[in-house]
């Protein structure tokens, strides 16, 4: 849980509460880490995988619906901007990792 808190940049007690709730709702399973019996591994359940998959499909459909409403010039502008947006996302992720 402490690793998850660091990754999420949240207080350990907040993440612990959230993890307990997700376990109770059947979205996460806690397993003892075989390499370190003091640590727990958090694994997504099939229920969580399905929910995430559904959410991703809805997000793609929403984005597609709105992008297709743009005129050709705006669609091309978005396409041209994608490499810069990807680079920006990588930089932001790396900076968050270092923080």
Residue 90 lies in a domain: yes
Q: What is the pLDDT of residues 57-99, one digit of tens each?
A: 999 999 999 999 999 999 999 999 999 999 999 999 898 877 7
Q: How, if at all, do strands 28-33 and 36-44 pair?
A: antiparallel
pTM for the whole thing?
Answer: 0.68
Locus of tokens 């806690």? 30
Residue 60 lies in a domain: no
Residue 17 lies in a domain: no
How many structural domains comprise the chain? 1
DSSP 60: H
Residue 86 lies in a domain: yes
Which residue segment(s) compose the domain that 75 sits in?
71-99
């Amino acid at each position: 849980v402490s690793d998850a808190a660091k990754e999420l940049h949240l207080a350990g007690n907040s993440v612990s509460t959230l993890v307990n709730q997700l376990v109770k709702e059947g979205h996460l399973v806690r397993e003892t880490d075989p390499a370190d019996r003091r640590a727990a591994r958090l694994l997504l359940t099939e229920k969580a995988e399905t929910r995430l998959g559904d959410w991703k499909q809805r997000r793609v459909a929403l984005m597609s619906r709105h992008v297709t409403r743009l005129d050709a010039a705006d669609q091309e502008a978005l396409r041209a901007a994608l490499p810069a947006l990807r680079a920006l996302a990588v930089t932001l992720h790396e900076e968050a990792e270092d923080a």
